[in-house]
Amino acid sequence: MGQIPRYLLVDSNALPEVYLKVLNAKQLFSSGQAKSTKEAAELAGVSRSAYFKYKDMVFAYNEKAEGTIITLRAMLRDKPGVLSNLISALSNAGANILTINQNIPIRGVAPVSISTRIDRLEMTPEELFLKLQEIDGVKSIENISDHNI
């Protein structure tokens, strides 16, 4: 069996009831119907320990990715087409580029920062990052945002 993907899209009918209760508790708390996580867990019929155990692992479809913005910092060789290839790779993967800031090259390398929304990627963020690292002329690239990839 190959590598199992980190995230799966699963019909909620196939999940143990505890996951659905945790999701319900999260929705009660985020909507303000419950004033605390304790109250949300009680209203949803789930223990506080189960709520805290699973709250960062159970998400409604697209809830986790919605609006996810990452900022990448890249060091690009000073040659024609490198930035264009990086932008094209992001766009082709389904990323929505929000800002680009490129500084003047020093010693043949230009620092670039790109902020992009990744909630509609056609690949995992990890796969995208690996693909960007392979672009000819990309000397280094790193994620400098709060979101891990």
Buried b (16+ CB within 10 A) or exposed e, 79-103: eeebbebbbebbeebebeeeeeeee
- Does 1 map to a domain? no
Q: Which residue has the higher pLDDT, 34 or 4?
A: 34
Taking the C-alpha atoms of residue 24 and residue 40, their distance in angstroms, rounded to an integer, is 8
Average pLDDT value over all residues in the chain = 87
Pairing verdict, β 109-117 and 69-77: antiparallel
Q: For 51-62, what is the mean pLDDT?
A: 80
- Does 62 map to a domain? no
> Is the whole-model pTM more than 0.75?
no
Give first-to-last CA distance, the chain, whole Å: 24
Q: 3-state DSSP call for residue 141? A: strand
Instruction: Say whether both 80 and 135 belong to one domain.
Output: yes
| CATH code of the domain covering residue 110 | 3.30.70.260
pLDDT band at 13 (very low <50, low <70, confident <90, very high): confident
Q: What is the pLDDT of residue 56?
A: 81
The tally of domains found in the chain comes to 2
Instruction: Say whether both 16 and 76 belong to one domain.
Output: no
- Does 6 map to a domain? no
Taking the C-alpha atoms of residue 40 and residue 89, their distance in angstroms, rounded to an integer, is 42
Given a cut of 90, is residue 48 above it in pLDDT? yes
Taking the C-alpha atoms of residue 147 and residue 9, their distance in angstroms, rounded to an integer, is 20
- Does 99 map to a domain? yes
Tell me: the pLDDT tens digits for 85-116? 999 999 999 999 999 999 999 999 999 999 99
Planar angle of CA 25, 29, 34, nearest 5 degrees:
100
- Which residues constitute the domain of residue 83? 69-143
Q: What is the pLDDT of residue 126?
A: 84
